[in-house]
Amino acid sequence: MKLGDVAAQGAGVTFAVQIGQTLVQFVSVVALARLLTPTDFGLVGMVTAVIGIASIVQDFGLSMAAIQAPTISEAEQTNLFWANTALGLTCGIIMAASTPLVVIGYHEPRLTPIVPVLSGVFLLSGLSVQQSARLAREFRFKALGIVGILSQAISVAIAIVLAFLGAGFWAIVAQQIAFAGLTVIGCFLATKWWPGLPVRGASIRRFLRFGTGVLGTQSISYATKNVDNIVIGAVWGAVPLGLYSRAYQLMLAPLNKINAPLTRVALPILSRIQQDDARFMHYLSKAQVVSCYITASAFALIAGLAEPIVRVLFGERWLAATPLVAILAIGGIFRAVAQIAYWAYLARGASGPLFRQRLVTGLITVVLIVGGVPWGAVGVAIGCTVASLAAWLIAMVHVASATGIDSGRLLRNATLIIACVGVPCGISGWAASTLPIPPVAQILVGVGIAGACFMLAYATIPWIRSDVRFSWGFIRRSVAPQRAERGLDRGRHEVPKGPGVDGSRR
């Protein structure tokens, strides 16, 4: 099987799983928003924003290092497993011991029992890091997806039942613990790999070197994605943070759930061809077309339809979250298209340059978010969105010198797609939201107008027709009956045939 078919089918499985997970999360967001209060979400959000950095440390970038490595022995993977397990245990103990500091920092004594309970998630997560990395290396994307969606569905069901029974914020805490535990069980059952004791003489230094750069990058990324929650909770309290966290969960959490699994698909494939500049750029261009037309355009439409969406999903008492949903959805556009640069850095082993780039963009993000604090959650959301735009532009410029790719072409193509497809979708949604009709009808009309605008663009702009034909071909390949896991080596050195993106049309 050609490597392009592996990519297509891996992406197809991932998208199918993410559609399922998004639906599950949609049910979770809607149901829990109607069963719980903004204060419940705000209290748990305060804790997860602070202690979540430990989840990055307990990984230490070793999952990416294991996936990216050209070769890895059983002894090395065994030692990586125990390294991640030890890191998870250590982080959990440190976080539990830090409970008084978290309580004092937020001036919120109700956090006292939440912190030590959530700290147990780190050990569970550490146990699954190398198991999921092993599935990704073996291109077993279907197994990864099944584990993810089942774990999420069961944990959401547990949370909804507990919330219905009046458990309050403990329903959200239980959901996180259940998800981590179920993921461990699922990964072990899927891999059927039971690591033995640590192997002396099997060094993992090369993984640690790569992982250090990834750790720094992910730490900065986590800090910039959670400083908004920290400052809102510390300055404005649980209720504004609860509103903000629901808007964030509706908008950006699904994007994060899409990006992480897609990275597990893209990274091993791009790493195989990292020395072939033409093929590497070809695959990046194809990936960008899919992300721009699907993810970015959807965010633009949601931004325009923010008010009816909030009314339908959350109810009238959450209307204050409307501007937050719209603003964060616009930021989601730039986060979606920035993922291409991230893949290029990692696939070519440029974790050091990636870390340095994230230092700059992370500082800019923190400054913009903190600068918006005086204007409450809305000001913070605006700062977050402006920072996402700045980070995308800086990344696209810097990745060219760090990896040697033609990022200018990628930047130009993404900008054209957003302008010609995304912006009309957003305007369509906003126009529909002003009509004097019920919220559900506003959403349906907005989607209909956006679809008509897209068809007009398809009929009048040649390169959009070319992109659509490619995307349709990619989708057909992604649902082909052949399994992506079989026959990979047979087509490893073949040049992809069929529709593609060369960038020359723009």
pLDDT for the residue 308: 92
Q: How confident is the model at residue 7 (pLDDT cuts 50, 70, 90)?
A: low
Q: What is the pLDDT of residue 390?
A: 93
What per-residue confidence (pLDDT) applies to 501?
39
In a domain, 95, yes or no: yes
Provide the token pair at 104: 């004092």
The string of pLDDT tens digits covering residues 161-201 is 999 998 888 999 999 899 989 999 998 998 888 888 888 87
Average per-residue pLDDT in the chain? 79
Query: In sequence order, what DSSP letters do the residues of 125-139 get, joined into one string?
Result: HHHHHHHHHHHHHTT
Q: Which residue has the higher pLDDT, 396 or 349?
A: 396
Q: What is the mean pLDDT of residues 40-64?
A: 73
Stronger pLDDT, 349 or 119, i.e. the higher one: 119
Over residues 112-137, mean pLDDT? 85
- Most confidently predicted of 240-244, 459-463, 489-493: 459-463
Q: Which amino acid is at 251?
A: M
Tokens 């239980």, located at residue? 174
Copy the structure tokens of residue 9.
């089918």
Identify whether 498 is part of a domain.
no
Could you report how far apart the first and last alpha carbons of the chain are, in Å? 31
Task: Kindly state whether residue 264 falls inside one of the protein's structural domains.
Answer: yes
Of residues 260 and 424, which shows the higher confidence score? 424
Look up residue 234 and give its two tokens. Answer: 């510390």
Is 29 part of a structural domain of the chain? yes
Give the domain range for residue 253. 3-479
- The verdict on residue 494 lying in a domain is no
In a domain, 493, yes or no: no
The number of angstroms, rounded, from the C-alpha of 444 to the middle of its chain's C-alpha atoms is 27
What pLDDT shows up at residue 461?
A: 87
Helical pair 38-51 and 114-137, crossing angle rounded to 10 deg? 60
Q: Does residue 499 sit within a domain?
A: no
Of 223-232, 261-270, 330-339, the range with the highest mean pLDDT is 330-339
> 243 versus 165: which is more confidently predicted?
165
Task: Give CA separation, 49 vs 46, 94, 222, 230, in Å.
Answer: 5, 16, 9, 6
Inside any domain, residue 469: yes
Q: 491 pLDDT band (50/70/90 cuts)?
A: very low
The fraction of the chain above a pLDDT of 90, given in percent, is 18
State the pLDDT at residue 9. 57
How many domains are there within the chain?
1
Mean pLDDT over residues 351-359, rounded?
84
> CA-to-CA distance for 374 and 377, rounded, in angstroms?
9
Check residue 158 and give its pLDDT.
94
Model pLDDT, residue 505: 41
| pLDDT for residue 488 | 37
What's the confidence (pLDDT) of residue 57?
65
pLDDT > 70 fraction of the chain, expressed in percent and rounded: 79
